[in-house]
Amino acid sequence: MPNSAAIVQQDAGAIQEDKAVEAKTGVQALFQKTTPEQRALKSMDCSKVLVKPDIYGGDGAFAAVDIKKGELVEYGLMRRLPLDGHQSTYVFTWSDDRTVWATAGGCAMFYNTHPTTPNTEMIRYFDEDRFEIFALEDIKAGDELLHTYRSLRWRQCFVESLPQQ
């Protein structure tokens, strides 16, 4: 396994690429973010999501109700963990320098990844250890919620599961 510095350098452009896509598509401009007042009343809300068995033999996140494009799907808290995220698919990259790992409260950890056609996007607030997930398209009740993990191309646990070219 490459060392941390090599991993950061090997794919340093990925974060810039993510930011360029966001700037080009204006995706985040659609999102109505939560307010501090909302979060003071409830730290997490995943009431629009349910977790049930998926077609892959595990559990997945599914829409419990119809969700419109740009609508908040869920929000929640993150907890930082002292582990190597290259070995675990159950944690999120939780820093721009890719050295911090965290697990999500709520249903976020059950969203399956899709490299090309996700229907949700997670906005990360690293300094507040929280996230918000928004719909990238209209989602019908019962549809599986899919996310593209930022680390899909460089984390060992994901790269090993991707189809080889």
Residues near 56 by beta carbon (within 8 Å), at least 6 away in sequence:
112
pLDDT at 101: 84
Domain boundaries, the chain: 4-159
Whether 106 and 76 have beta carbons less than 8 Å apart is answered as yes
pLDDT at 56: 83
Mean pLDDT, rounded, for 17-46: 68
Domain 4-159 has CATH 3.40.50.80: no
Q: Is 160 exposed, middle or buried (0-12, 13-18, 19+ CB in 10 A)?
A: exposed
Q: Please list the alpha-helical segments (H only) found in the chain.
A: 4-10, 13-25, 36-41, 156-159
Note the pLDDT tens digit of each residue in 105-153: 989 888 887 767 899 999 999 999 999 999 999 999 999 999 877 666 6
pLDDT at 132: 95
